[in-house]
Amino acid sequence: MRLRVLLDGHTVGTLESTREDGVVFSYDRTWLSDPAAYALSISLPLREKAYPQGRSLPFFAGLLPDGELRRRIADYLHVSETSPLRLLAALAGECAGTVSLVPEGGEAEDFPASDADDGYEELPPARLAEIFDRSDRIPLLAPRGGARLSLAGAQDKLPLFARDGRWFRPRGPGPTTHILKPEPKAFPGLAHVEFLSLRIAASLGLAVPAARVMDFGRPVLVVERFDRVAEADGSITRVHQEDACQALGIMPDRKYQADGGPGFAELAALVRRSCANPAGDLERIVDAALFNFLLGNCDAHGKNFSFLHRGRRIALAPFYDLVATTFWEALDTKLSMRIGGEYRIERVDASAFAAFAAELGVKPAFVRERGERMTSLSGPAWTSVAELPESNAAPAVVASMEAGWMRRARQLGPA
């Protein structure tokens, strides 16, 4: 099988399965000759020589859903979950960033985002409620009506285009503007926990996507896509992105540091050598580590940190999938990325963050000052969050999250 790889509709290379070398990726010579050409991934610099499977597969496998969701979609499509090319051919039309894949010889159609009635199918609220209700049987990302949608992650989600309060699903590869995440039955309260996690992050100055909770028969978190930009003429521009595992050439099933995934030191090194503003993005990495610790987010792994590519200019993306996982007492409190050698969140203290600073190559005083700033601002931030309408719908959730935050803030006392 051979797939054409496109960035925002432009052919940049081919991905194919070979008998001798497995799955290989090659850049298109026309793309390489363009002075404005840029790499598909930090882990796949522009070059004429083909990339072997060990270098190619991490980026492309990272476009697909993770774990159990990937298995469910593969079962629904009657495709082996161990066949990434067949899954990519079935799903990888509208992905994260600007990437799409089409079978060799296939046409890369596009529908203008400003013409929703022609390129999209409208989904009224009752229809969305029906789709979410049956998502336990039919995965939301399973192809329907010609649309091919692929988003990484273990939680089922539905990318849609929004206009004037109406919701549309693309009939083809037209761009979407929002990601809808219905609350799983196994985690009651998740929609509000994630919403409040995002809002407290925004209140503390972290860059995060806008979000809200809506009712479609069950709570649904609606998140604006940060890799899509609405233009003045109503069209949507895609922005290329990749997560840290893709950028480092790490397979998605190794996203946790204990399994060989990236830690904060690897993230910091990646920022220093790749980002246009490494000092600013390194500060954001420090803030993210402090915030996730205080929030009680033990699931901040390598695929929850991404990079935006605007041509050859690379920057750390807004933070996403922020969830206070310690809200559910049954969940493990082992951190996805250790802090100063410590994996257990209840054991992290000021000395762990001092060791964390050394790993990142920054001064411990800098990390300490960022932590003190965040904790000093958290009181007013929680007050503002508690006044939101969504908080009125879930006061016990807010109280539990704030209590956990304050408890962990006390762990950052003098080392």
The residue type found at 281 is D
The residue type found at 268 is A
Residue 253 DSSP one-character state: G
Helices and strands, counts by H and E, the chain: 14, 17
**In angstroms, rounded to a whole number, what is the distance separating the alpha carbons of residues 241 and 229?**
13
**In angstroms, rounded to a whole number, what is the distance separating the alpha carbons of residues 8 and 10?**
6
User: Mind giving me the DSSP string for 35-53?
Assistant: TT---SBTTB-S-SSPBPH
**In angstroms, rounded to a whole number, what is the distance separating the alpha carbons of residues 360 and 355?**
9
CB atoms within 10 A of CB 229: 13
Sole residue written with tokens 């995934």: 261
User: Mind giving me the DSSP string for 66-116?
Assistant: PHHHHHHHHHHHT--TT-HHHHHHHH-SB-STTEEEEETT-------TT-H
**In angstroms, rounded to a whole number, what is the distance separating the alpha carbons of residues 158 and 180?**
5
Question: CB under 8 Å to 290, separation ≥6 — which residues?
Answer: 353, 367, 370, 371, 374
Q: Which residues are catalytic, by number?
A: 299
Pairing state between β 240-243 and 236-238: unpaired
Q: Is 213 strand, coil or helix?
A: strand
